Amino acid sequence: LSCAFPGNKELEPLKYATVATAASVSRQKVEACIQGTTSLLSHCLGKGETVAFVLRNVGVLLVEGRRVQMRFYYDFLARMSGKRNLERAAFKVPQLLKRVVSQVIPIASLTFYGRVIIFP
User: pLDDT (tens digit, 9 = 90+) per residue, 39-92?
Assistant: 988 898 888 888 888 888 888 888 888 888 888 888 888 887 787 777 777 667
Cβ 30 vs Cβ 22: under 8 Å? no
Q: How far, rounded to the nearest angstrom, does the alpha carbon of residue 63 sit from its chain's CA centroid?
A: 11
Q: Give the pLDDT mean for 26-44.
A: 90
- The alpha-carbon radius of gyration of the chain (Å, integer) is 17
Contacts of 99 (CB under 8 A, 6+ apart): 69, 70, 71, 72
Burial of residue 96 (CB within 10 Å: 0-12, 13-18, 19+) is middle
Task: Tell me the average pLDDT across 26-41.
Answer: 91
Domains of the chain, by residue range, sit at 12-47, 48-119
pLDDT value of position 10? 77
The full DSSP string for 93-104 is -GGGGGGEE-TT
For residue 6, the model assigns a pLDDT of 66
- Give 4-24 pLDDT, tens digit per residue: 566 777 778 889 999 999 989
